[in-house]
Amino acid sequence: MNMPSKNNRVIRYLFPMIFGAVFLGLAGWLFYLQVIQHDKYESLALDQQTWEITVDPDRGSIKDVNGVDLAVSATAYQVLMAPAQLTDEEDRVEVATFLSEALGLNYETVYNNTQKNSQYLAVKRRIEKEDADKVTQWLTEHKEYKTIVWVSEDTKRYYPYKNLLSTVVGFVGSDNQGLEGLEYYYDSYLSGTPGKITAVRTAKGSAMPYEYESYQDAVDGYDLYLTTDVQLQYILEKHISNTRVEHNVQSRIGGVIMNVKTGAVLAMSSKPDYDLNDPFTINDEMTLEKLLASYEENSEEYKAAYTKKQLEYRKNKIITEQYDPGSTFKIFTAAMALEENLVPLSETFYCSSQIDMGAITYHCAGKKAHGPETFKDAMANSCNVVFVQVADRVGVDRFYKYFTLFGFQQKTGVGLPGEVSGIFFEEDEMTRWNLYSSSFGQTFQITPMQLITAVSAIANGGTYMKPYILDRVVDQDGNIVLQNEPQAVNQIVSESTCETLRDFLEYTVVKGKTGYLKGYRICGKTGTSQKMEGGEYGEQKVIASYVCFAPADDPEIAILVMVDEPNSYVQYGSYIAAPLGRDIMGECLEYLNIEPDYEDGGAVTSVLVPSVSGMSVSDAAAAISDAGLIAKIIGDGEKVSSQLPAAQTLLCSGNTVLIYTDSNGNVEKNTSVPDLKGKTAAECNSLLQQAGLNIKVVGDNLNYSTTVAVSQSIAKGTVVKKGTLITVKFEGQKQE
Amino acid sequence: MKKGFFSSRSRRLTGVDLPFLVGVLLLLAIGLATLYSAGYAKALQKTGNSYYYISRQGIFAAIGLGGMAIASWFPYRFYKKLAPLLYGICVVLLGAVLFLSNDTEKRWLYIGSFQFQPSEFAKVAVILLLAAYLSNPKLRIRNFWRGIVFPGVIFGVCALLVGIEPHLSGAILVASIGLMMIIAAGANVLYLVPVGLVCAAGAIALYFSEEYMQKRIEYWLHPELDPTGNGYQALQSLYAIGSGGLTGLGYGNSRQKYLYLPEPQNDFIFSVFCEEMGWIAAVLVLGIFAFVIVRGFYIASKAPDKFSSLIVVGIISRLAVQTIFNIAVVSGAFPVTGISLPFFSYGGTALVVLLGEMGIVLQISRHAALEKDAPIKDTEQENNGTRRKLSSRKEA
């Protein structure tokens, strides 16, 4: 029987055709997968075949102006795990038990991690060497886990100075990313660029014998050099911490020190602050006591209040919060009036403790009547009555213009995160009465940073210097990536206005006494502002502040301290803030090698000549002697008819005040000025005393043995009245 | 008649169909080379000896080639007598494996240190018995019961036994071989339509009743939904194939074989081949497979009788279906199921049996009239004693 030919055709043609078609289809399908979808599958395959190991760059350091480390990265360790290779339940339990115990971790957390299908998982980062050694030791005893658990290097951020400058420096998070302060603001400079190692691994994690490795080096972060000086910062923080405790300060306390010539921030602090190494813990005893007094420990309320405080303490209140500057602002009101020639220095005002300006009557602090006074006296007396009148002359428009020029309407741009500007009136909405209250620093708010920057402008002769805290950025090879230079923004007021103001402010300090520092000529102004409570100014809570700069004849540094809610009996700025500012200034000047003005068996004190006219000669002599001056009585009358120098003149202690009695006789009133050139300070003093003249010493480097007089204010041989003040300029050279 | 006889005889003496033999040897050589690379990492991990798979497979290939030589000499007509016996033995073994094996998939029988898969022999037994049954000249092939049902029972029993091992792909393979042989024998294809419909309905019912099946289909279409679980194998295979591109990563350079691919030496060996050698080489291999298959069907169409023709159809169908099935699975065109690639995948029994089958095809090719103009020769008379007697009686 022949096979039917039909079936033969099925076998010979149909089957091959069907299978051939299917094979063609498969070839097409493979073309789609291998060629068209190649990139997609290859990248997916490489994703799982390759391990991209990130090589963390070293984070740059933050250093002070002298290169002292404020924030550094140090080597630490981390424990890593490849849980995908832990297939056995018993192994998972063993590994989780050991790791949780050795590293002080929660067992559940570690156990859950062991179940993940991952080849690379950090069990714990930033551990100390002891803990890392524990794991290494265990691994030598349990070799079966050697490819599953391993220890590798890690970096940890250390802040050697803990609380010091903490609100400025800030800290980093768990992945070394900056979270606060400079760490946050300059994170891009500090963090560097991570490197990468790409390696091929089998599904079990071991190396594949296949060339597919690439390296990309990590670029370490840059170092930041600040303008701040750890020593000055330490002085600042020590004093404000002490004051905080001494006066039981309820709210914030802060201080800032600035180089008036450059605008560089030398120190900056607000308290309470925190330890940068432990940023989530409050380490302030006062706060902890208060919290415990208010809430039950570990209650929900306690925790909430704790967290709130802790967040608050991370803020740098010098730039992130405003305050009422109070009378310290009178400096600027005076600057405007002087610059615009609105108040002759000879003009006498009269203060009866209050002034009626229509809708509102303004009072002086403590309702004190200052009586007749010059503008200079009004500054020293912090007389609101006079300043309201002066402000009236300045007017809203000019006041607004200068207010803006002094930088109170904008952020200073010091280069720190979270900076705010002041809160002030809209120009077209500002009334006369807003102006009057503003003239003595009430009804508006500015930041301490804004105030010290503006004060620095007065101190340096009228130039607004843009403040800065970052001096330079340096890469790991020492190349300077960025260098901040002092930046003069504009000349706000003239040099002569500043000179007058400096005279005013030096006078204010000497007269105010509490800010006075023996041996130094300091300009300063206190402020006591009432705090707004519920939209009203209350009397109870005040902010005491003090701003000062020195030396008066050539200012170098300015200091502002702000004490919010001191809780002691006397709250005035002059009693709390001025001594604080004075103490800081004294130590700072000493540290900066700015020597006391005159040294001859002890620092010379500036004193004010008392007014002795009309007194009995014996009383007058006693008053002058009490003031630390020497009285030289001229004539033989009973009563004092006049004095030289005049009352309220600043003299060095030990200087002579001539008292002229009502019966002069034939007393020689005049004298000839001796030649002082080339004489030492002691010789000058002695010569002038013999001639019945007074000395005022100016100049630098006064305590060198080579220091001699180079010029005198009145030429030799000139005949002058006895008691006249001769200003002598000294210069000296440091001997090698 | 005489010319044909001589032609046939000379072929028996001078040799086998060379093109087919060359194709088979090429596939075997490429398969072994691929196994060497693909199984290297897995062998090292499993046994500590990277050459474990290739050395064993080499020995099996040698045994298989010996078997192929013997089969190419062994007169095929004896299979007709042997078929029922072989079939009976295989059914017994398939039954035995279900009781004797302790594995979850009961495929292996152990006799001392020797182990083998009865299902591999069962395929041969099914082919031989079906060929014997369907080549019976008295068979009314167009009859539903004789042409469809009875042969269906012959392969169905084996398919069922393989299916409950469980070895679904094996069962499908046995069933496919059977169906193709029925069609080739000339059964009424129209009868298969309702059978096909019933099967399709059953499959659809199974799909909707068994959540397991739906999941399986879903992970087939979207392996990325569960890349580490149900979609893992399919996805890893796609990664390997896709990574290959046009020209591949180079021989030995597969990365997916490093324990990402499950069974890189067995079911997924072709993925490794695609990854290392690229699309062009993959198509070349597909071409060789297609050539062997087409040549096989050509031999079947020129076979000396219906019995031998159907044997070749069965053997070549098995080769074709299994190859397509495997490549479709590893390339994600079919849902993942365990099926190996002929000549490539590691497995001793399978390779020895496969080469034995190739030997049978070669044996039949010796008798086939493969010359271009050679008439289709019916040697049924020669081999069928009754037929000869009948004709001689007629002559007489």
Between chains, do B378 and A3 touch, taking CB under 8 Å as contact? yes
Phi then psi dihedrals of residue A478, to 5 deg: 90, 5
Give the model confidence (pLDDT) of A457-491 as tens digits.
Answer: 999 999 999 999 999 999 988 899 999 999 999 99
Q: Which of residues 135-154 of B touch A (CB under 8 A)?
A: 137
In this structure, which CATH number among 3.40.710.10, 3.40.50.10710, 2.40.420.20, 3.90.1300.10 belongs to the domain A320-591?
3.40.710.10
Between chains, do B245 and A35 touch, taking CB under 8 Å as contact? yes
* Closest-CA residue of chain A to B277: A34
Mean pLDDT of A8-12: 84
| Residue A36 at interface with chain B, using a CB cutoff of 8 Å | no
CA-based torsion, B212, B236, A81, A60: positive or negative: negative
Residues 6+ apart with CB under 8 A from A383: A349, A351, A364, A370, A373, A377
**How far, rounded to the nearest angstrom, does the alpha carbon of residue A127 sit from its chain's CA centroid?**
33
Please say if the pLDDT value at position A702 is more than 60. no
Q: What is the rounded average pLDDT for all residues in chain A?
A: 85
Give the model confidence (pLDDT) of A86-136 as tens digits.
Answer: 878 888 888 899 999 888 888 998 888 888 877 778 888 888 888 888 888
Residue A133: its H or E element: helix A129-141
DSSP 3-state assignment of A435? helix
Please work out, in degrees rounded to the nearest 5, the angle formed at the alpha carbon of residue B270 by the alpha carbons of B268 and B274. Answer: 125
Residues 6+ apart with CB under 8 A from B277: B244, B247, B248, B251
* Closest-CA residue of chain B to A44: B239
Residues 6+ apart with CB under 8 A from A710: A677, A699, A729, A730, A731
What was the pLDDT predicted at B252? 85
Whether A234 contacts A244, CB under 8 Å = no
With beta carbons under 8 A apart, name residues in chain B contacting A35.
245-246, 279
Give the model confidence (pLDDT) of A604-626 as tens digits.
Answer: 567 777 888 778 888 888 888 77
| Residue B337 at interface with chain A, using a CB cutoff of 8 Å | no
Whether A698 contacts A730, CB under 8 Å = yes
Confidence band (pLDDT; 50, 70, 90) for A562? very high
Whether A669 contacts A719, CB under 8 Å = no
* Per-residue CA distances from A244 to A528, A577, A581 (Å): 16, 11, 13
Residue for token pair 């420096």:
A169
**Is 3.30.420.10 the CATH number for A52-226?**
no
Of A662 and A423, the structure prediction assigns the larger pLDDT to A423
Q: Which of residues 92-121 of A touch B (CB under 8 A)?
A: 117
Please say if the pLDDT value at position A714 is more than 90. no
With beta carbons under 8 A apart, name residues in chain B contacting A87.
none
| Residue B28 at interface with chain A, using a CB cutoff of 8 Å | no
With beta carbons under 8 A apart, name residues in chain A contacting B259.
202-204
A-B Cβ pairs (cutoff 8 Å, strict): 142
What was the pLDDT predicted at A2? 43
| Residue B376 at interface with chain A, using a CB cutoff of 8 Å | yes
| Residue B19 at interface with chain A, using a CB cutoff of 8 Å | no
* Closest-CA residue of chain B to A207: B258
Mean pLDDT of A144-152: 83
What was the pLDDT predicted at A668? 63
| Separation between Cα atoms, residue A38 and residue A228, nearest integer Å | 58
A75-84, A553-562, B76-85: range with lowest mean pLDDT: A75-84
| Separation between Cα atoms, residue A310 and residue A297, nearest integer Å | 16
Q: Of A283, A276, A268, whose CA–CA distance to A316 is shortest?
A: A268
Cα first-last separation, chain B: 19
DSSP 3-state assignment of A620? helix
The fold adopted by the segment(s) A606-731 is Trypsin Inhibitor V; Chain A (3.30.10)
Beta bridge pairs of residue A633: A659
Whether B53 contacts B42, CB under 8 Å = yes
Which two three-digit tokens encode residue A217? 């080096």
Which two three-digit tokens encode residue A504? 């005013």
Whether B294 contacts A20, CB under 8 Å = yes
Please say if the pLDDT value at position A633 is more than 90. no
Please say if the pLDDT value at position A335 is more than 80. yes
Q: Which residue of A5, A29, A203 is in closest CB contact with B259?
A: A203
**Catalytic site includes residue A327:** yes
| Separation between Cα atoms, residue A329 and residue A573, nearest integer Å | 13
DSSP class of residue B34 equals: H
| Separation between Cα atoms, residue A219 and residue A190, nearest integer Å | 11
Q: Of A624, A638, A362, A608, whose CA–CA distance to A508 is shortest?
A: A608
Q: At what angle do helices B348-367 and B118-134 cross, to 10 degrees?
A: 20
Please work out, in degrees rounded to the nearest 5, the angle formed at the alpha carbon of residue A370 by the alpha carbons of A518 and A661. Answer: 70
With beta carbons under 8 A apart, name residues in chain B contacting A16.
293-294, 297-298
What was the pLDDT predicted at B364? 92
Q: Give one DSSP letter per residue of B259-284, joined into a string.
A: TTSSSTTTTTHHHHHHHHHHHHHHHH
Q: At what angle do helices B150-163 and B168-185 cross, to 10 degrees?
A: 170
Per-residue pLDDT of chain B (396 residues; tens, 9 = 90+): 444 444 444 444 457 889 999 999 999 999 999 999 998 888 887 888 889 999 999 999 999 999 999 999 999 989 999 999 999 999 999 988 888 877 777 778 777 777 788 888 899 999 999 999 999 888 888 888 888 889 999 999 999 998 888 888 889 899 999 999 999 988 888 888 888 898 889 888 888 887 877 887 888 888 877 777 778 888 889 999 999 899 988 898 888 888 788 888 889 999 999 999 999 999 999 999 999 999 999 999 988 899 999 999 999 999 999 999 999 999 998 888 888 999 999 988 899 999 999 999 999 998 887 754 444 444 444 444 444 444 444 443
| Residue B390 at interface with chain A, using a CB cutoff of 8 Å | no
Residues 6+ apart with CB under 8 A from A238: none
Q: Of B73, B39, B70, whose CA–CA distance to B276 is shortest?
A: B39
Which two three-digit tokens encode residue A10? 């099925």
Q: Which of residues 197-216 of A touch B (CB under 8 A)?
A: 200, 202-204, 208, 210, 212
E strands of A492-535, at which residues?
Answer: 523-533
Confidence band (pLDDT; 50, 70, 90) for A628? confident
Of the residues A61, A73, A327, A545, only one is catalytic, namely: A327
Whether A483 contacts A477, CB under 8 Å = no
E strands of chain B, at which residues?
Answer: 109-111, 114-116
Whether B196 contacts B189, CB under 8 Å = no
What was the pLDDT predicted at B8? 44
* Closest-CA residue of chain A to B228: A117
Between chains, do A208 and B255 touch, taking CB under 8 Å as contact? yes
Count the residues in chain B: 396
| Separation between Cα atoms, residue A638 and residue A663, nearest integer Å | 8
Beta bridge pairs of residue A562: A254, A545
The domain ranges of chain B are 2-395
| Separation between Cα atoms, residue A655 and residue A696, nearest integer Å | 9
Q: Which residue of B243, B293, B305 is in closest CB contact with A41?
A: B243
Residue for token pair 């240190």:
B113
With beta carbons under 8 A apart, name residues in chain B contacting A6.
186
| Separation between Cα atoms, residue B18 and residue B368, nearest integer Å | 13
* Closest-CA residue of chain B to A116: B228
Give the model confidence (pLDDT) of A311-320 as tens digits.
Answer: 888 999 999 9
Q: Which residue of B184, B255, B290 is in closest CB contact with A45?
A: B255
Q: What dihedral angle (degrees, nearest 10) is formed by the CA atoms of A599, A605, A610, A616?
A: -60
Whether A362 contacts A398, CB under 8 Å = no
The 3-class SS string of chain B reads CHHHHHHHHHHHHHCCCHHHHHHHHHHHHHHHHHHHHHCHHHHHHHHCCCCHHHHHHHHHHHHHHHHHHHHHHCCCCHHHHHHHHHHHHHHHHHHHHHHHCCCCCCCCEEECCEEECHHHHHHHHHHHHHHHHHCCCCCCCCCHHHHHHHHHHHHHHHHHHHHCCCCHHHHHHHHHHHHHHHHHHCCCHHHHHHHHHHHHHHHHHHHHHCHHHHHHHHHHHCHHHCCCCCCHHHHHHHHHHHHHCCCCCCCCCCCCCCCCCCCCCCCCHHHHHHHHHHHHHHHHHHHHHHHHHHHHHHHHHCCCCHHHHHHHHHHHHHHHHHHHHHHHHHCCCCCCCCCCCCCCCCCHHHHHHHHHHHHHHHHHHHHCCCCCCCCCCCCHHHHCHHHHHHHHHHHC
What percent of the residues of chain A are helix, what percent strand, and what percent coil, each to the nearest 5?
A: 35, 25, 35
CA-based torsion, A470, A472, A475, A476: positive or negative: negative
Q: Of A516, A542, A673, whose CA–CA distance to A606 is shortest?
A: A516
Beta bridge pairs of residue B32: none
Q: Which of residues 3-22 of A touch B (CB under 8 A)?
A: 3-8, 10-12, 15-16, 19-20, 22
What was the pLDDT predicted at A120? 77
What was the pLDDT predicted at A535? 63
DSSP class of residue A145 equals: G
Q: Of A493, A416, A433, whose CA–CA distance to A461 is shortest?
A: A493
Between chains, do B306 and A3 touch, taking CB under 8 Å as contact? yes
